[in-house]
Amino acid sequence: QAFWCECSSVDAQHVFLIHVRAMFSSPKVIQGTALRRSGTGMFRARKKLVENEEAGEHVFVNGAQKLVARTPTIPVVRIATGKWWIHGMYEEQVIKDGLRRLDTAWEERGLFSKREACVSSDRLPRLVCEGLLADLVAGERSLSDVHKTDVAMAQGDLTHLTMRQLLRLRVNSLDYAPQGDDNAAMHAFLAKTDKLLFEHLGQQAVGNLLPHLSPKSLFRLGVDLALVTAVAASLVAPSWWVCWVGHGAEARRFFLHPATFSSTFCFPSSQESTCGVFEIADNSKVCHHSRGKHRIIDWKVSAHVDQRTLCRHRVVPERGGNAAAQAAGGVAVGPREEFILHQAIAGMKKIGSRLW
């Protein structure tokens, strides 16, 4: 019996050693890594589901129960009859709220689908990273989990995405803020996404009224429209807002309906707007505590029932410093093309031969 116990202990140690070696062999390492990655993905998906359930409410749509996120409105202070004040928030916070509201309000079906091989697909642009972009748009992957090389490769495909796809892609990454110069590829990817998205938003609103606007004017207009969309959720009536596009002698005034994202040059009639239109007096300034990176919103909003009481010219607050970054309220990363090019050239080696 003692001999059997001794043999059993030896066999057990032998089996244990074999088990340990099997654990640290290369196939098991690969399998274990895959399991950890899948486990991490399942944990994030579960966490996101719980957060959505806690931040949402169940409503009935066409007889079916649906979870709808509750988006808090922008705080508004009433200072007089027909006058309100919006202040104390970074423009970037208001823009994020506006983008999320647009993403929730607009149609989601057919957002992004991988093109199937067919006769007409030959005329479609060929995307280098179609699968990656589809996952980012669908929210199946986070931008923070994507390698910088893949992000750099996918940047060229952004121009082929629709406005709806760009909006969902940006909303999915609003809370991701890459830090440091090592994330130059991430900065460039987000900057190009913002540029294309805000230009598309401006084109969507006034494309039929002003078809020949410059990309710079469309970008600035898209940012303003995101701000108006966020604030309009806190001020129900009237339903139309005074907006401007362009600067100086080329500035044009139009009226926007944020709920439908439609616009017109004509003052809304009483049937279209119960109390006229909202007009904004923008006194937003750069926050000095942020070293010029953020702007604090300061809007005085007034309701007008007569077009003759509206301001006849556009009053634009001073926007010194990094205009591209501040134009988007800190959401869009400032232009870094020169730095990225310098960094890329510094890492190159001379080969002593001409390329062409």
Q: What is the pLDDT of residues 84-100, one digit of tens each?
A: 999 999 999 999 999 99
Mean pLDDT, to the nearest integer, of 26-44?
52
Which segments within 248-292 are labelled E, that is strand?
252-257, 262-264, 277-282, 285-286
pLDDT per position as a tens digit, 282-315: 999 898 887 777 899 999 999 999 999 999 888 7
Closest C-alpha among 327, 349, 339, 344 to residue 180: 339
Q: Residue 252's CB: how many other CB atoms inside 10 A? A: 15
Place of tokens 């999915």: 172
Of the listed ranges 164-168, 288-292, 307-311, 323-327, the least confidently predicted one is 323-327
What is the reported pLDDT for 269?
Answer: 79
Q: Are 215 and 196 in contact (CB under 8 A)?
A: no
Give the separation between CA 7 and CA 5, rounded to whole angstroms.
Answer: 5
Of the listed ranges 152-166, 220-234, 333-347, the least confidently predicted one is 333-347
Instruction: Indicate whether 185 pLDDT > 60.
Output: yes
With a CB cutoff of 8 Å and minimum separation 6, the contacts of 161 are 112, 133, 137, 169, 196
Give the separation between CA 214 and CA 182, rounded to whole angstroms.
Answer: 32
Check whether the bond before 238 is cis (ω within 30° of 0): yes
Instruction: Indicate whether 67 pLDDT > 70.
Output: no
Helices and strands (DSSP H and E) totals, the chain: 10, 10
b/e sequence 147-184, b meaning 16+ C-beta within 10 Å: eeeebbebbebbeebebbbbbbbbbbbbeeebeeeebb
What is the reported pLDDT for 250?
Answer: 82
Helix (H) / strand (E) containing 78: strand 77-80
Instruction: Indicate whether 179 pLDDT > 90.
Output: no
With a CB cutoff of 8 Å and minimum separation 6, the contacts of 105 are 259
237 burial (CB, 10 Å; 0-12 / 13-18 / 19+) is exposed
Amino acid making up residue 136: L
- Phi and psi, residue 143, nearest 5°: -65, -30
Mean pLDDT, to the nearest integer, of 192-204?
97
Give the pTM: 0.70
Q: Look at 280 and 52; give whichever has higher pLDDT.
A: 280
Mean pLDDT, to the nearest integer, of 48-75?
55
* Distance from chain centroid for Cα 42: 24
Give the separation between CA 128 and CA 157, rounded to whole angstroms.
Answer: 7
Instruction: Indicate whether 35 pLDDT > 90.
Output: no
Q: Look at 120 and 269; give whichever has higher pLDDT.
A: 269
Which segments within 149-305 are labelled E, that is strand?
240-245, 252-257, 262-264, 277-282, 285-286, 295-304
Q: Are 204 and 261 in contact (CB under 8 A)?
A: yes
> Sign of torsion, CA 155 134 41 55?
positive
Give the separation between CA 139 and CA 143, rounded to whole angstroms.
Answer: 9
Give the separation between CA 91 and CA 175, rounded to whole angstroms.
Answer: 15
Average pLDDT of the chain to the nearest whole number: 76
Instruction: Indicate whether 244 pLDDT > 80.
Output: yes
